Amino acid sequence: MKPEWHALVVEDDRSWQQILRELLDDAGLEVDLAADLNEALDLIARRTHRLAVVDLSLVTADHLNRDGFKVLREIRQRDPSCVTVLLTGFATVEIAVSALTDLGVYTCLRKEMFQRGEFRELVKKALSTPPILEATISGRNSKGRETGPLFLDEGNEHKNKPMAIVVEDDAGWLEIFSELLSDAGFLVRLCQSFGEALGCLRRESYRLAVIDLSLDKTAMLRSQVDPSFQPDWDGYRLLASTRSAGIPTVVVSGIANADEIERVYQEQGIFSFIEKQSFERHVFLNTVKEAVVMRPNTALYHALTVRELEVLEMLSQGLTNKEIAEGLFITPNTVKRHLKSIFEKLEIHTRSAAAAMAANWFGTALGDDKRTH
């Protein structure tokens, strides 16, 4: 489910209001409308927005009116995470440059060249930009709440923290993932390219991977403009590495094509796919928690012998040592030796912990692995 994001449309022409509202509604945004400067300033003061489309001139009879710039300045000061788009019928190079460089506008659109399809794609790309997170100071967020680890006791030593690798070419998204995962108790390895990430995956062990499919902005933009273009996403090649290493992987990407999403689930066995266009912090953290806590590292699975897997599967069914021995035609003492080895390899100490891990494994495709030792 997409978050309840709001969009602001500042436009004095009713026809344009209707067009923009319809397109933004289709994008899943709640739309606030303002027809003049005062209405816009009031809405900006009362609510934050994910996207704002602002007309340059808000007085129909005065083509020299530049109230739109005042709106953009107010947004930049009060709502810096809002992505702004300048829409005008009086575009000049000077206006565009000023909007882009001085006011941080995402892009400028000319009304006489407006196309609905292009605007829809623009909105998708704009919503893929990283939202600004609340700043954290000494383990507390801007509201004073503690942001301690979700998965570790606060007293754990630094060396005992699990490692997470994040592969993302956008500095803004890297900062977001670094902050969220650090607060969740991870040591975070940040990578911005395929080669850098591949080297880290070969040198270090990770408990979680967060990967963007596209590590090439040029290819990403071209694929959005030209549907026939089929780029070789670097992220796919990294997914093959995380899958073989048994690292639970969460894809967070601006590629929201249903076919691509289905492909990455089927071919690479990822844990979850989160679209940047609908990114929410709590959804991401819950997904991370499920990936780490509920899906054990499959590398541990491959450390067990076939006989140990048989014992573990029967244990997960609630059988006693005696019942396992009878089912496998071995002695109870042999079952005990297998269990001791299993506990050591899985780094656990109780039957219930072993049963929980086994329940996950044998409920997935791993249970169909017929390998031999």
Answer whether residue 14 is part of any domain. Answer: yes
Better pLDDT: 329 or 93: 329
Answer whether residue 149 is part of any domain. Answer: no
Q: Quote the crossing angle between the two packed helices 234-244 and 194-203, to the nearest 10°.
A: 10
Check if the beta carbon of residue 342 is closer than 8 Å to that of residue 312.
Answer: yes
Answer whether residue 235 is part of any domain. Answer: yes
Check if the beta carbon of residue 7 is closer than 8 Å to that of residue 24.
Answer: yes
Give the Cα separation of 241 and 209 in Å (integer): 11
Answer whether residue 319 is part of any domain. Answer: yes
Of 295, 322, 350, which residue sits at a domain end? 295
pLDDT attached to residue 118: 86
Check if the beta carbon of residue 254 is closer than 8 Å to that of residue 237.
Answer: no
Q: How confident is the model at residue 49 (pLDDT cuts 50, 70, 90)?
A: very high
Give yes or no for residue 247 having a pLDDT over 70: yes
Q: Looking at the structure, do residues 114 and 10 belong to the same domain, yes or no?
A: yes
We report the CATH number of the domain holding residue 200 as 3.40.50.2300
Q: Looking at the structure, do residues 200 and 269 belong to the same domain, yes or no?
A: yes
Answer whether residue 19 is part of any domain. Answer: yes
Q: Looking at the structure, do residues 174 and 263 belong to the same domain, yes or no?
A: yes
Answer whether residue 245 is part of any domain. Answer: yes
* Three-state DSSP class for residue 27: coil
Amino acid at site 37: L
Q: Looking at the structure, do residues 98 and 179 belong to the same domain, yes or no?
A: no
Q: Looking at the structure, do residues 324 and 351 belong to the same domain, yes or no?
A: yes
Judge if pTM exceeds 0.85.
Answer: no
Q: Looking at the structure, do residues 177 and 250 belong to the same domain, yes or no?
A: yes
- Count of domains in the chain? 3
Answer whether residue 121 is part of any domain. Answer: yes
CB neighbour burial string for 84-116, b if at least 16 within 10 angstroms, e if fewer = bbbbbeebeeebbebbeeebebbebbebeeeee
Answer whether residue 217 is part of any domain. Answer: yes
Beta bridge pairs of residue 140:
137, 146
* 17-29 confidence digits (pLDDT tens): 999 999 999 988 9
Task: Tell me which DSSP letter residue 368 carries.
Answer: G
Q: Looking at the structure, do residues 285 and 322 belong to the same domain, yes or no?
A: no
CA-atom Rg of the chain in angstroms: 26
Report residue 234 as tokens: 């670097």
Range of the domain at 239: 159-295
- Interval 349-365 mean pLDDT: 63
